[in-house]
Amino acid sequence: MYMLTGISLLIGIGVGYLLSRVGGNKRFRYFKLEAQAKAKTIEQEASLMLEKAKVEIQEKELKQKKELDKLKTELEKRNRDLMLKSRETDSEKEKTLQLQNQITEREKNLQILEEKKRQEIDKTIYVLENIASLTENEAKAYILQKVEEKSQADIVAIVRKHEKLAHEEAKKKANYILAQATTRYAGEFAGERLINVVNLPSDEHKGRIIGKEGRNIKTMEQLLGVDIIVDETPGVILVSNFNLYRRAIATRVIEILVEDGRIHPGRIEEVHKKVQAEFEQKIYEDGENVVIDLGLFPMHEELIKLLGRLKYRASYGQNALAHTLEVARLARVLAAEMGGDEKLAMRAGLLHDIGKALTQDFGGSHVELGAEVCKRHNEHPTVINAIYAHHGHEEFDSVESAAVCIADTLSAARPGARREVLESFTKRVKDIEALAMENEGVIQAYAINAGREIRVFVDAGKIDDNKAAIISSSLAKKIEDKIQYPGEIKVNVIRETRSVNFAK
């Protein structure tokens, strides 16, 4: 009985406690909402008070200003009247003084109103700071931060949109420019062979070219540095060599000898000297014709001559002059489409590979050689930049340089333009000749028979038979160590003595 009474009492106490907690929470939320409503009301009342005070002060200011302007106008009028009358009575002076006093009083009242306005604004700011728990500077910083965050998001969205549009437009424009350039210029295929064919009037001339005991053909191969192939093919002989210039001279020499009919060592030497002089002149004329056709005068004589030499230079089986002209014309079209200087782009394209005309004589990079010779002759900085940029030595710095780089890639990349195997072969043959020329006393060195034989001509006055044998052995060893080649290479060291006298 008592136990049940105790349990009931505990339950009642617990229920009462829970009800009081629930009621307390409700009262807390009620007070919180009531406080928030009062704060909102105070904030609104403060804003209304500030606006009302501002309006009243502005009205008073306008009224005071009107009265002040009226008094100033009256004072100015009286002053003018006094100046005209040239005298001033005591009563007028008194009135003037009163007006001045009134003006001073009005100005003081305006200052008081301005101070009252400032106090009202400060009071309202203080009320708002208490409600928001923020100082004026903190509120400004908070607002600026939010505005900045929102602005950044908008700016990023705009930038991304325009970047995407710019990328799409740039791609379309680039494709259009390339299409225009490549369709408006169609270059001929320029592939180089390693042999020239000389047609003969009859097979009897084969015997004359060979000569007694092969003297004539040996003299030709020694002087001309080519491989002369006389086979069973009727009416023709073949001139083979990787060097286009050397091969062209040899072909012309043989054609003159065949036409003349006199073929012997003395005549061969005479014709060779004459053809060499003719080719030097022809080289300049070829370069001059190129410059005239493209309208790029004036140009230094050395550069014109080097352009002519490009006709007898090949890169990966592609004729260097044909490639240069193709690049110049493509660069002109590309520059025109991109708003650049057409003539400057064409000049840079024409001279971008000018160094290739010097590599056979001096070695080294055609980029460095070309840039050096163009600098020496005061070519435009864009031309120099294009020479460096088309092989990545520098970044292009103009539309014209970019056009040359694009045109060079287009010319080299089209199907059939270049052959890697031929270039590796010619490089190997050049390296073999260069190794031979390193030896003291060597006059000439020619790689013939498709690079399977090297003929080295030495000075008989400096090299005796024993030294000739040493040169042959050491050169063979150098080739084995430094050159990669299939099969074997025959090394011939030739020492020849000659006595010459004149009967007078």
Contact 54, 120 (CB under 8 A): yes
- What's the CATH number where 446 sits? 3.30.300.20
Whether 345 maps to a domain, the answer reads: yes
Encode pLDDT of 392-437 as tens digits.
888 888 889 998 998 888 877 655 555 545 566 677 788 888 888 8
**Which single residue is written with the structure tokens 């100082």?**
135
Residue 15 lies in a domain: no
Which uninterrupted H or E stretch holds 37?
helix 2-85
Whether 86 and 171 map to the same domain: the answer is: no
Residue 310 domain flag: yes
Task: Report the C-alpha gap between 292 and 312 in whole angstroms.
Answer: 20
Domain presence at residue 31: no
Are 346 and 390 within one domain?
yes
Same domain, 257 and 234: yes
Q: How many domains does the chain have?
A: 5
In terms of domains, do 106 and 203 share one?
no
**Residue 22 located in a structural domain:** no
Same domain, 299 and 384: yes
CATH code of the domain in which 228 resides = 3.30.1370.10
Find, among 308, 350, 306, the residue nearest to 331 by Cα: 350
In this structure, the answer to whether residues 388 and 465 fall within a common structural domain is no
Residue 33 in domain: no
The pLDDT tens digits of the residues spanning 225-266 come to 888 888 887 888 989 887 888 888 999 999 999 988 888 888
**Which CATH number goes with the domain that contains 383?**
1.10.3210.10
Residue 487: pLDDT above 50? yes
Element (DSSP H or E) covering residue 494: strand 490-495
**Within this chain, do residues 305 and 394 fall inside the same structural domain, yes or no?**
yes
Parent domain of 392? 295-418
Q: Which residue has the higher pLDDT, 328 or 70?
A: 328
Is 29 domain-assigned? no
Of the pLDDT bands very low, low, confident and very high (cuts 50, 70, 90), residue 19 is very low
Say if residue 125 is in the same domain as residue 141. Answer: no
Domain co-membership, 279 together with 323: no
Instruction: Please indicate, yes or no, if residue 34 is contained in any of the structural domains.
Output: no
Q: Are residues 52 and 93 located together in one domain of the fold?
A: yes
- Closest alpha carbon to 476 in 465, 464, 490, 463: 490
